[in-house]
Chains A and B, each alone.
Chain A
Amino acid sequence: MSLIEIKDLHKKYKENVVLDGINLSIEQGNVIGIIGPSGTGKSTLLRCLNQLEIPEKGTISINGKEINLSSRKNKKEILALRQNTGMVFQQFNLFERKTALENVEEGLIVVQKKSKEEARRIALEELKRVGMLNWANHYPRHLSGGQQQRVAIARALAMRPQLLLLDEPTSALDPEMVGEVLDVIKKIAAEGFTMLLVSHEMAFVRNVSNRVIFIDKGVVVEDGTPKQVFSNPQNERTKEFLAKMYMLEVEPEYII
């Protein structure tokens, strides 16, 4: 049985259908790269999974327990779900008035009700994992974008989510900082965290993921190993997209 099973996810904003029936089973330790043109609903998918958006329809089961994503009523379930999923945002979204250490401790203390000492121990460990231990006392405004994103990753990991959601974690970074964040993601992927990674860094997605899905117009049109998707895409739209991103490894026909 899969660790996580997403079934029939539908979401629209007014008349604009963004997700049109997404189904996805995620195995423990899967690193799933999600690619697709902008505006196809990649962020919306991640945001529905931790209920920052409420879809019209759809369920998620984690460890065999099914949760209805479309119901607004059950606050307890939403909170339980949010504790099973961790989110890393494009804009980092660190708490401005807290140090790096306090940022990571916050959820441990407030949500998981851990003691101050325990929270501190875990937080320091996570900061170490992302190479930010020396910056534990620094406030976000003292940190570069890449450093802030690494703290944000530590903050999400500290909660030990079953599923880590990363929404274009390097898109807001200056080019010279992209590498440090990708290195951290690669490291945690190797450590066995299950994650959904939305990214336009095609080479990185290919390198770090063990599965890649291509989403277009609100549905999954391609799903396979990185090699299958990047070297031998089945769908026309995938080919077109990859050609645009200069990632299609077979020679485009028009060159011949």
Chain B
Amino acid sequence: MAKLFDFEQVFTNIPELLKYLPITLELALLATFIGLVLGLLLAIVKMKQIPVLKQIAALFVSIVRGTPVLVQLYIVYFGVPMFFKYLNTKYGTHLAVAEIPGFVYAVLALGLNSSAFSSEMIRSALMSVSKGQLEAANALGMTYGQALRRIIIPEAMTVALPTIGNSLISAIKGTSLAFTCAVVEITAQGKIIGGRNYRYFEVYCSLAIIYWLVTVVIEQILKAVEKKMAIPEQVESYIEQKDEK
């Protein structure tokens, strides 16, 4: 009788799965990036109370938060092509729907999902920057955009860094659903392996190990970045160079 649990298999699976790790990481990083950019826009719309956009943003966030990622992936995967086809028939355009790879849909759906969750944390990070700094920037003659880019976002970043890390980690977990868009990343590959040798349990154990290690590594990287971004405890006095003149 075959072994109930093939311990070795858990580890021999790993190299084959790791070949697909780059896809998982690309998906997660791109989705997090889109999530941050879009989340920033949503946060600014809410902070500046821009009419109409504000209501649209609130509705978007509410829908995304209130529906499962899996469903969102399906909706984007089937919805976007339908929308393009509608445009094609209505306006006689020739948008090449079939050529868009599933990867794009997966990134789009995961990015939209991430933006809804990160917008609120981005907003509170932006609001944590003292209003006085914005006023000081304005008083110097800086525009809102300049103040945002040079003063507010850099400080908000340090506040938001741990939550940005969480978004990245949840995006990584989210990528395990990307098979819905016909993307083969590590989980999809794991299912393929499992289907080949019927050792599903072993391959899921392998996957668990990989996801866990990736998360641990990301946490460590974040800690290092946080440390690097921190204002130093103490600095040396500035010594005037007498020979400068």
| A residues apposed to B, CB below 8 Å | 50-52, 75, 79, 82-83, 85-87, 89, 91-97, 99, 101, 106-107, 110-111, 124, 128, 133-139, 141-142, 152, 155-156, 159
Asked whether A136 and B142 contact (CB < 8 A) given A93-B130, A94-B136, A97-B231, the answer is no
Contact B155 A97 (CB under 8 A): yes
Which residues of chain B have C-beta atoms less than 8 A from A107's C-beta? 140-142
Q: Residue B237 at the A interface, CB < 8 A? A: yes
CB distance from A104 to the nearest CB of B (A): 10
Give the CA-CA distance A107 to B138 in the complex, in Å: 10
Q: Which residue of B has the minimal Cβ distance to A51?
A: B138
Q: Residue B146 at the A interface, CB < 8 A? A: yes
Selected contact of B138 from candidates A82, A133, A159, CB within 8 Å: A82
Chain B 8-43, CB-CB to A under 8 Å as 1, else 0, gives 000000000000000000000000000000000000
Give the CA-CA distance A59 to B95 in the complex, in Å: 55
Q: Residue B6 at the A interface, CB < 8 A? A: no
Which residues of chain A have C-beta atoms less than 8 A from B155's C-beta? 96-97
CB distance from A252 to the nearest CB of B (A): 39
Selected contact of B132 from candidates A93, A128, A136, CB within 8 Å: A93
Q: Residue B236 at the A interface, CB < 8 A? A: yes
A-B contacts, 12 listed (Cβ < 8 Å): A52-B135, A75-B143, A87-B139, A106-B142, A107-B140, A107-B141, A111-B146, A133-B238, A137-B235, A138-B237, A142-B234, A152-B136
CB distance from A156 to the nearest CB of B (A): 8
CB distance from B149 to the nearest CB of A (A): 9
Q: Which residue of A has the minimal Cβ distance to B241?
A: A124
Contact B132 A89 (CB under 8 A): yes
Contact A96 B238 (CB under 8 A): no
Give the CA-CA distance A75 to B135 in the complex, in Å: 16
Q: Residue B99 at the A interface, CB < 8 A? A: no
Give the CA-CA distance A91 to B141 in the complex, in Å: 19
Asked whether A136 and B141 contact (CB < 8 A) given A89-B135, A91-B132, A97-B154, the answer is no
Residues B111-145 near A (CB distance < 8 A): 129-130, 132-133, 135-143
Contact A141 B140 (CB under 8 A): no
Give the CA-CA distance A134 to B136 in the complex, in Å: 23
Give the CA-CA distance A136 to B237 in the complex, in Å: 7
Which residues of chain B have C-beta atoms less than 8 A from A75's C-beta? 143
Q: Residue B158 at the A interface, CB < 8 A? A: yes
Contact A135 B135 (CB under 8 A): no
CB distance from A107 to the nearest CB of B (A): 4
CB distance from A192 to the nearest CB of B (A): 22
Q: Residue B150 at the A interface, CB < 8 A? A: yes
Contact A82 B235 (CB under 8 A): no
Contact A95 B133 (CB under 8 A): yes
Give the CA-CA distance A247 to B137 in the complex, in Å: 36
Asked whether A93 and B136 contact (CB < 8 A) given A133-B238, A141-B231, A142-B235, the answer is yes
